[in-house]
A and B are shown apart, each in its own frame.
Chain A
């Protein structure tokens, strides 16, 4: 019952740019920061982007985030085979209050 909508899948060839979109509402994305998490197969999620567009130390600058209105996006440039994973957007929702995750997008490197 995720309140943030993501496409179930996205794909690209090595070196390409892939963009994943996350759609929310005025009470969540429209009012709060967006975060992105990467989950490699069989592992725990890892923080990829915080506060809309900030990268934690160690995250390659191939990953970039942005937000506009009630939507957000994650772009992966110079796609690499190790980027094959599930990606989740997340944010706080003011009504009802709580942290919410997106439906998740599986990125496949062709």
Chain B
């Protein structure tokens, strides 16, 4: 059974850097065609795609947030890490990681982690 689980701080202060980890099990990040992406959802609002990293280390970022985002993976730990700099209260959201496929979809999602940005 494949799963993804997000971990990281629940509260960050404005201007700080957020670091989130997605731990994957049941599938390998080095398998051809596999990708892991990050998607967030502010309370009561729509989903917003942030970033994606592929098995071959190819990376894609949201054009509106690209300057603040970095996505990396640790194949030995089967983990994907997302960092977002200069956090602001508008970045308060549930952050999800999800497995991307060759078909371009996200077919498996983590449970999500709520991050609140407040001083």
In angstroms, Cα B52 to Cα A46, docked, is: 18
- Closest A residue to B62 by beta carbon equals A98
B46 near A99: Cβ-Cβ < 8 Å? no
Complex: chain B residue closest to A32, CB-CB: B104
A62 at the A/B interface (Cβ < 8 Å)? no
The answer to whether the Cβ of B27 comes within 8 Å of any Cβ in the partner chain is no
Which of A50, A56, A91, A104 contacts B46 (CB under 8 A)? A104
State whether A98 and B46 are in contact (beta carbons under 8 Å apart), knowing that A32-B104, A33-B104, A44-B96 are contacts in the complex.
no
Contacts of B76 in A (CB 8 A): none
In the complex, which of the residues A44, A50, A91 contacts B112, with contact meaning CB atoms closer than 8 Å? A44
Knowing A97-B60, A98-B60, A99-B37 touch, does A47 contact B104 (C-beta < 8 A)? no
Interface hub of B61, B98, B106, B111 (most chain A Cβ within 10 A): B106
How many angstroms from the CA of A51 to the CA of B64 in the assembled complex? 25
User: Does A103 sit at the interface, judged by CB under 8 A?
Assistant: yes
Cβ of B112: which chain A residues have Cβ within 8 Å of it? 44
In the complex, are the beta carbons of B103 and A103 less than 8 A apart? no
Sorting the interface of chain B by its residue count into under 10, 10 to 19, 20 to 34 or 35 or more gives: 20 to 34
For B108, what are the chain A residues with a Cβ–Cβ distance below 8 Å?
47
Q: How long is the Cα–Cα vector from A100 to B106 in the complex, in angstroms?
A: 12
Which residues in window 15-68 of B have CB below 8 A to A?
37, 39, 46-49, 52, 60-64
Q: Give the residue name and chain of the A residue nearest to B106 (CB).
A: A47
> Is there contact, CB below 8 Å, between A88 and B104?
no
Q: How far is the CA of A106 from the CA of B107 in the complex (A)?
A: 21
B109 touches A50 (CB 8 A): no
In contact, A101 and B49 (Cβ under 8 angstroms)? yes
Interface status of B110 (Cβ within 8 A of chain A): yes
Map CB proximity to A onto B89-113 as digits: 1 under 8 Å, 0 otherwise.
0000000101001011111111110
Per the bound structure, the CA–CA distance linking A94 and B111 in Å amounts to 29
Which residues on B sit within 8 Å (CB–CB) of A104? Answer: 46-47
Q: Is the CB of B47 within 8 A of A88?
A: yes
Q: Judging by beta carbons under 8 Å apart, are A1 and B64 in contact? A: yes
Q: For the complex of A and B, list the 9 residue pairs with the smallest distance between their C-beta atoms, beginning with the closest.
A: A96-B63, A99-B49, A44-B109, A101-B47, A50-B105, A35-B105, A104-B46, A47-B107, A50-B103
